[in-house]
Amino acid sequence: RRKEARDAEARQYLNLTQAIADKKDAAEASLVYDDKSKAAILIKEAENLLATLPQNEKTEKDKFLELQKMLAATAEKLRNIKILKPELLVDLSEKNTEAKVRSIMKIGSSLIAYGPEDNSLYVVNTVTKNVTLKKHDSIKNLYRSAVPAEEDKVVFVTKDNGVAEYNPKDDSLTAKTIAFSVAKPNIADIGIYNRKIYSLDAANRQIYKHNPTALGYDKGSAWIKSGGTDLADAVSIAVDGDVFVLKQNGAIKKYYTGAEQPFGISGLDPILNKPTIIWTGSGSDKILILEPIGKRIVALDKNGKFLAQYTAPEWQNPIGLTAADDGRTVYVLDGSKIYRVGL
């Protein structure tokens, strides 16, 4: 009976190790056919089986480590992590030791760096790398921004729901008027499309579309038509005809003409952890997402399919992201440093 029990344990062990290897091979095959979602499921199933594998004897421990290494190699292929060699464009602390920038926005051949706790705009020429400071003591708390397709201005929203515009031709920053159809909006971000502002109100779970006026923008109309939309933890918006909204939990909502569209992220491992910025452009076939915790940029296609993820050993706390309209040249704000990378 003892021999039968030992034989049964041995068969169970062999079956378990074979099942792990089979799932690993099936995941590899799925990757060949670019089915990252299926590969991710198979890898997770194999990892769960591996966790149950006995490690009582040296041979069992060696087998465990062998299988663990094999699964890790396949997982790396699935994750498609690319290590970048970013170019340090500028360090703003060399221009102002008290710089407290939190965001960047590209306009033409310049970058505009700013933050709600800094009363200066930092205008960076991406060609010459020169940095000029623009004081804005009367317009405070610049929070998020957007640039129209014409690239003739940068529109800022402030922490108290005000709006200002930067004109690169005369280097001026001017306060503009804007109103909202609710008493207490909480504008998390803005996007621009066809000269109209789309303001993301997380508190009221709504997006407002504002038309330009002679003095700024009108109070806007509620743009989302479908009820029950959950935008309570929305953090960022990107507009390219469709509207994409990023939530703090890593989910992305997609809308077209005010109606929510089916959208889900597929094939990404690990899942997003408190991402902060979503970016896309009308000239790009990609969506880029910045995740400071993982020090990574995640690239999806516009149907939510995972393409690649990027990181760099130089990045310590990447907090800002902007890109050229085609999405190939990306600028990352890391503390007071701005890096340029090609994707």
Q: Are 158 and 141 in contact (CB under 8 A)?
A: yes
Q: Indicate the length of the chain as a whole number.
A: 343
pLDDT tens digits, residue range 89-147?
Answer: 999 999 999 999 999 999 999 999 999 999 999 999 999 999 999 999 999 999 999 99
pLDDT tens digits, residue range 167-182?
Answer: 999 999 999 999 998 8
Q: Residue 43: helix, strand or coil by DSSP? A: helix
Confidence of residue 227 (pLDDT cuts 50, 70, 90): low
pLDDT at 329: 97
Confidence of residue 78 (pLDDT cuts 50, 70, 90): confident
Residues contacting 137, CB < 8 A, separation 6+: 119
Closest listed residue to residue 111, CA positions, set 83, 92, 85: 92
Confidence of residue 79 (pLDDT cuts 50, 70, 90): confident
Q: Is the pLDDT of residue 310 over 80?
A: yes
Virtual CA dihedral for 85, 90, 96, 97, nearest 10 degrees? 20
C-alpha Rg value of the chain to the nearest Å: 24
pLDDT tens digits, residue range 101-111?
Answer: 999 999 999 99
What single DSSP character describes residue 73? H
Residues contacting 99, CB < 8 A, separation 6+: 92, 93, 118, 120, 122, 336
pLDDT at 229: 76
Task: Indicate the range of 19-28, 113-122, 157-166, 217-226 predicted with least confidence.
Answer: 217-226
pLDDT at 1: 86
Cα–Cα–Cα angle for 61, 64, 68, nearest 5°?
Answer: 140
Q: Is the pLDDT of residue 228 over 70?
A: no
Mean predicted confidence (pLDDT) in 196-200: 97
Cα distances (angstroms) measured from residue 166 to each of 173, 174, 176, 222? 4, 7, 10, 26
pLDDT at 5: 85
* Residue pointed to by tokens 């066809």: 194
Residues contacting 234, CB < 8 A, separation 6+: 188, 189, 200, 202, 245, 246, 247, 248, 253
Confidence of residue 2 (pLDDT cuts 50, 70, 90): confident
Task: Indicate the range of 15-19, 246-250, 267-271, 336-340 predicted with least confidence.
Answer: 267-271
Say how far residue 335 (Cα) sits from the centre of its chain: 17
Cα distances (angstroms) measured from residue 238 to each of 138, 205, 316? 28, 16, 25
Mean predicted confidence (pLDDT) in 286-300: 97
pLDDT at 330: 98
Higher pLDDT, 40 or 212: 212
Mean predicted confidence (pLDDT) in 75-86: 91
Q: Are 90 and 316 in contact (CB under 8 A)?
A: no
Query: Token digits for 225?
Result: 């038509």
Please state the pTM of the whole predicted model: 0.87
